[in-house]
Structure 1
Amino acid sequence: MNSIEVRQLEYFLAVHDHGGVTRAAKALHLSQPSLSQAIRSLERQLRTELFLRVGRGLVLSPAGQALVGPARQVVRSVERAQTAVLRVRELHAGQISVAAGAGLVADPLAPWLACFRRKYPDTVVRVEESESDDGVAELVRSGDCDLGLTAGSIICDELEQLLVSEQHVVLVSPPGTPRSVGPVPLERLAGVPMIAGDRRGQAWTDVERAMAARGAGATVVVEVARTSSTIPLVLAGVGSTFLTLRLAIEAQARGAVVQEITPAQVRRLRLLRRPGDRSIGVSAFTNVIHADAKRWVTALQQQQDLGLGLVAAGAVVDARIRDARTAATSRQARLAS
């Protein structure tokens, strides 16, 4: 016996539910002869009658009565499967994995993930941290992760590298630290107690090289594994540290003193992906990153064009972003209630 198609079961149920071929054909947008032929084909496959003609109508035969339940289960199972696939395709479900270099989860990945989750709340995001950019590249190249985020270029012909944003590195000092007039020269930090967050990360490596080039070594008094862990230590007066602007602004809101440095330190963020990977998840996350990074950079430049310094401009932009998110959350809460 040939395999029965789901479509045939749908036609069978339509004739039963609508009480006849004519009404079923109309509901299915089929011609009556086509539907009748499909039912006869199903009966031939099953080698039994499914309907009995009584007067001008049709009633189920004993075999037809036995088929109704299993047929509904099959049709519903297929519908659930199609819905599940559609939800994944449209990112209403499913998972995407991102590899991030050391120190990049707190900034910029955290705000990017927040934007992505607001747009695709049912999608699970898995984050893998790596101590090196090469480690990030290997996670993406091997297929363990869909995307990778690094703070420097890598040598890997097997991956695409997309420049997505830039980060400014600034000096963060304990509350009460005297402010300099203008950016703080790196050589002036010789002997200043420093807290190193993820010392192997690209941000710290670049700053230490810049200090060494100016004849000044960093006096590290405390090392911590995570960059974000340096903020409580700075606020407690243990020492100063270098942070990206967005993290520094958070520390400033809690009392830390944030200042620009010279020469300016800017690290370039790159997104890694396998060539030709244009899956829905990868494309959606990439689009969110590009959009959020562009909004931040554009807004920051606009404030600087108005005469604000880097830190002050960043504080204004960050405050506006927070206000906008709070307002959006309040609107969602009102709609939900």
Structure 2
Amino acid sequence: MKVIKTTEIYVPLMETEYENHFGKFDTVLNELCGLSEKLYVVFYKDKKSSLKIERATNAQVKKYFQRKKEKKFTKYFLKFTTEYSFIDKEEIEFGLLAVTLITESYVKYLLIFLNIAKPGAFDSREGITIGTLNFETKTKVDKDVFPMLANTIHLSLNLVGKYKWPPIQELSINDTLKWFDKHWEAFTTMPKNRIERALNAFSYLFHDSLADTSPSDLFFSLVGIEALFVEGNESVQKQVAVKSQLLLGKRNEFKKKFKELYEFRSRYVHGQLNLINKYYLRDADTDLQDHLSKTYDNSNLAILILIASIQKHILLDKDELAFEFILKD
């Protein structure tokens, strides 16, 4: 008995600050859709399915997002599709549900790491996953929520003009994904090197709730940065300061700001800064807004440094970088 499982994932994308810093977002979507059926999702014993990527039609958007608030605030909707054929009992035991879960996992990673190639372009909201099972003359359809991957990367781009550092650029999606192919296992197993630890830290910058106002972006960005630049436990801040400039260019505009970034993180970690209740209700309290502003500012700077550093690894086609200090004449 042949059983075919088709998984369709519809993802709404927010309009972001991307176009204020780079090119047209339509061009980005065309570049991504140009890779349709050229990317592959691996399922069972190296059996795989091509991933079809396209813009959702108006009819599909109306059908699946008719009552969702995402439709009001989003302009773009993507559709991802895989198809898997079960041909024996062993494969069926592998799991009809597993095919959908693996497809969802791949699409999550794809949307997250597209933000390395096109910083801030992909800020998604809650979507929908549709699994269609066809066997003999019967069809079964299951629907589930595809989680949002909300992030503030596009807002962090505003700091590039303010601080003139680090250098952030657009990369080719195809070239970036080819580089990521070498590290794809790190997303499902333990990382093997520095860059894979940094990539996993980057994944924590994406949230399934808009209410997440914790300083976690600051913490995980610095985890990723230190994974790339720090050896041992000696002078962590100094290692990052020196090595990041060797990789990304010299900081001339804001030396004090970089020091403030680490002091801010340290005060948080050691309980010297007020930590806002996770479930607090937003209000217009001036002190509260000032505190949040400082948190976001430091978090966004750390996010930029992490993205710029990973981009540099991609451009140099490196997994790890070795640094050495030279005595001047």
TM exceeds 0.5? Answer: no
Task: Flag the structure with higher strand content.
Answer: 1
TM-score in terms of structure 2 length: 0.21
TM-score in terms of structure 1 length: 0.21
Larger Rg: 1
